Amino acid sequence: MVLVLDKSGLPEPDAPAGAAAKRSLAGLDRVRLATALAEVGVPAKQIRMRVNQLWSWLYVRGVTSFDMMTDVSKDLRARLEARYTLDRLEIVTEQISIDGTRKWLLRLPKRGHEARAPEIETVYIPEAERGTLCISSQVGCTLTCSFCHTGTQRLVRNLEAEEIVAQVMLARDRIGDWPGAAIPGDDRLLPVGDRKITNVVLMGMGEPLYNFDNVRTAMDVVSDGEGLSLSKRRITLSTSGVVPEIGRWGEESGTMLAISLHATRDALRDELVPINKKYPIKALIEACRNYPGVSNARRITFEYVMLKGVNDSLADARALVKLLSGVPSKINLIPFNPWPGTKYECSDWETIERFAEVVNKAGYASPVRTPRGRDILAACGQLKSESTKLRASERERGVFASSGPSEE
């Protein structure tokens, strides 16, 4: 694997004089862009037109400088630059796995009350004909799912809507996914086609339905047909089961839905996914049956991590089929991805195949998710944003022993 960038051992840079008051426009929705324009003196009757101009430059072309906005007057560009930036989130580390998966540790802007700037992780997974970006919605998580690395990190705060959108913009920067952008030198690890990011999944750090309003606003920006223009059928929100918000999400946003299920019995799911104690399986499945727009064409994905000796028996497979009867769904079997300190092991491949056979024979699509980015702790359940989890010297001795992508 390659470590492209590592600034995790460096202190956070001091902001230049006056820079602390500047906010980036990158990631803002139309309402907040309108507010920003009003604050620099744009007349009310021009706001809508100016918002459309900025929107195109930000989300169609991906510009990083006001000087590039050639159809905006020099005077307005100067006023915007005096008060705002187009800065992206700061990259602390950038890693490329042997399979082409990329993981960024990103530093967010520090709020006034924060002792240090919080950090999140974002992962890009390229395949031959698609590229999936896995984004975070919170710094840390409150859910403490026992098999998930993020669950060992306390919740610091929710991400703002623009910080969620900014992950998409930064990823497009780094892989050359803007019109006319230069393609990185290792483009053999990118999908073939005009778009390198074809899908977005809210499966990174945090429970997105516990940050409902900001996530909804962010997905509205990402799916806007005059900007980033990603179809909501290519956006998937994954939830551990915040039952009261599932129907509301379907009504107000309408993206695809994934459920982090992992067990068919309440006693076991209480241990694996503790939110089950509040919203048990029966209530969760009922919410899925009633999800707006659910159909055979818009199936719900049920994620099921394969844990050796825990939830991987043939009886578990049959119980899963019975539980989901009548719910338009597909079942995503996920080989457990180990992380430091976990008590779980991954089911062996023969067990996974037998489990999948039971599910397939019942008529459910049940792809086994190919582990991606394990060598950089970028796979499902492995994300944790604390840059102190390994010192730079430890990474150099161990994880980053390889100097480049493997040819295997």
In angstroms, rounded to a whole number, what is the distance separating the alpha carbons of residues 353 and 348?
A: 9
Q: What pLDDT shows up at residue 251? A: 98
The mean pLDDT value of the chain amounts to 88
Residue 387 in this model has a pLDDT that exceeds 60? no
The β-bridge partners of 122 are 104
In angstroms, rounded to a whole number, what is the distance separating the alpha carbons of residues 397 and 234?
A: 39
Domain boundaries defined on the chain:
121-397
240-263 burial code (b ≥16 CB/10 A, e <16) = bbbbebbeebbeebbbbbbbbbbb
Average pLDDT, integer, range 147-164: 88
Give per-residue pLDDT as tens, 83-105.
999 999 999 999 998 888 999 99
Average pLDDT, integer, range 113-137: 92
More confident: 11 or 92 = 92
Q: What pLDDT shows up at residue 19? A: 45
Q: What pLDDT shows up at residue 340? A: 85
Fold of 121-397: TIM Barrel (3.20.20)
The β-bridge partners of 125 are 132
Closest to 121 (Cα-Cα) out of 87, 148, 84:
148
Closest to 311 (Cα-Cα) out of 371, 354, 268:
268
**Residues labelled catalytic:** 121, 380
Whole-model pTM: value is 0.88
- pLDDT-derived band at 399 (thresholds 50, 70, 90) equals very low
Closest to 249 (Cα-Cα) out of 194, 211, 206, 283:
211
Residue 386 in this model has a pLDDT that exceeds 80? no
In angstroms, rounded to a whole number, what is the distance separating the alpha carbons of residues 32 and 4?
A: 34
Give per-residue pLDDT as tens, 130-152.
999 999 999 988 888 888 876 67
Give the whole-number percent of the chain exceeding pLDDT 70: 83
Average pLDDT, integer, range 150-168: 90
Do the beta carbons of residue 247 and residue 292 sit within 8 Å? yes
Q: What pLDDT shows up at residue 192? A: 65
Q: What pLDDT shows up at residue 129? A: 86
Q: What pLDDT shows up at residue 191? A: 73
Average pLDDT, integer, range 328-356: 93
Average pLDDT, integer, range 391-400: 38
Structure token digits, residue 322: 């019975």
More confident: 9 or 271 = 271
Average pLDDT, integer, range 288-306: 96
Give per-residue pLDDT as tens, 68-84.
999 999 999 999 999 99
In angstroms, rounded to a whole number, what is the distance separating the alpha carbons of residues 105 and 293?
A: 35
Q: What pLDDT shows up at residue 366? A: 82
Q: What pLDDT shows up at residue 396? A: 40
Non-local CB neighbours of 225 within 8 Å, separated by 6+ positions: none
Overall size of the chain counted in residues: 408
In angstroms, rounded to a whole number, what is the distance separating the alpha carbons of residues 18 and 121?
A: 29
Give per-residue pLDDT as tens, 257-288.
999 999 999 999 999 999 999 999 999 999 99
